[in-house]
Chains A and B, each alone.
Chain A
Amino acid sequence: MVLSPGTKAPDFRLKKSPDQTLSLSELRGHPVVLVFYPADWSPVCGDELALFNEVLPEFARYGAQLVGISVDGVWCHKAYAKSRNLDFPLLADFEPKGEVSRKYGAYRPQDGFSERALFVLDAGGVIRWSYLSEVGTNPGADGVLAALEEGAAQKV
């Protein structure tokens, strides 16, 4: 089961490039969208991340930061992000493998990769919405946008 709304999002620090790390706490103060996905290069993921990449301006309207997470290593992420022109960070849940994905209930031990799961965190780092997709199904971005919109409405 993926972590439910109302849960404090577990903090983490993962590599976002060969020489840089990103921790969740650094993103405090803004809504955060966490996109767990099975693997770089696999076709559905490509569609999912390409879609989220296109929707970045919509996420930006809510001040939200988008982060992708899979068990692929930093060099793989780097090549993949470059080939798809991705404009958001991909984090490597690589060592210990899948540790962060497991904390979010978004790991598939039988396959050895992350689930296709989405989390929307508020500015205080609390999960406001989560969704577990079929591993082969691109979930789309409508649920994330609705959650961000709801969060923004509650603040007013």
Chain B
Amino acid sequence: MSHLAPPLGPRDHTQGPPGARVTLVEYGDFECPHCGAAYPVVKAIQRAMGSKLLFAYRHFPLTRVHPHAEHAAEMAEAAGERGKFWGMHDLLFEHQDALEDDQLIAYAKTLGIDPAWAAQALTEGRYEPRVRADFASGVRSGVNGTPTFFINGLRYEGGADTLLDALMEATIDAPLKSGG
């Protein structure tokens, strides 16, 4: 069974309390239709599980089949620099068919980020190393396509439709964490 490497850390983008009983990590691609289909499922799971769940997202763009995926991931990182990672994450998955550079920059503007700064970040490839690092960690962790999920650090082999069941099971199995 494949293990998440490196484990969740301070550089990860997360939603939910750090001490949550269950962690869910997604390796995703903003242009991947399967990730787009999983997006509302993950949202519903987050609502259902509330503070029991810590969710994290890492980049795994398949750039040779999804030509917009790399810049979309970099724009999410740029937004993250301005504290808007999740706002951008949501906008990208809700507009998977509109991921041209000028559209990415418009999303940044929507989130209150200086569009000139965002455009510059894309041109410079400022966040490319971060996206590459996520990708490399995914390969090492046994990610073989997108989306790939890890529940409490172990690769989840099923589909998005049974993800909630697997998480509920993990909630029961997980030992209570005492102060981290």
Contact = CB atoms under 8 A, between A and B. Distances in A.
Interface of A: 47-48, 50-51, 53-55, 58, 84-87, 138-142, 145
Contacts of A53: 64
Interface of B: 2, 62-65, 135-136, 139-145
Contact of B144 (A48, A85, A145): A48
A55 B64 contact: no
Given A58-B136, A58-B139, A87 B64 contact: yes
Identify the interface centre among A51, A53, A86: most chain B CB within 10 Å of its CB.
Answer: A51
Nearest to A83: B65
A47 B65 CA distance: 10
B65 A84 contact: yes
A142 B135 contact: no
A84 B65 CA distance: 6
Nearest to A51: B144
A122 B160 CA distance: 39
A120 B116 CA distance: 47
Given A142-B2, A142-B139, A145-B139, A54 B144 contact: no
A145 B64 contact: no
16 contacts: A51-B62, A53-B64, A54-B62, A54-B64, A54-B135, A58-B136, A58-B139, A84-B64, A85-B64, A140-B143, A140-B144, A142-B2, A142-B140, A142-B141, A142-B142, A145-B139
Contacts of B62: 50-51, 54
A55 B139 contact: yes
A140 B2 contact: yes
A55 B142 CA distance: 12
Contact of A138 (B2, B65, B139, B145): B145
A87 B65 CA distance: 12
A54 B73 CA distance: 15
B142 A54 contact: no
Contacts of B64: 50, 53-54, 84-87
B60 to A, nearest CB: 9
Nearest to A54: B62
A121 B136 CA distance: 22
B41 to A, nearest CB: 20
Contacts of A145: 139-140
Nearest to A86: B64
Contacts of B136: 58
Nearest to B143: A140
B140 A47 contact: no
The 3 closest A-B pairs by CB, nearest first: A140-B144, A138-B144, A85-B64
Nearest to A85: B64
A40 B17 CA distance: 45
A84 B64 CA distance: 7
A85 B65 CA distance: 7
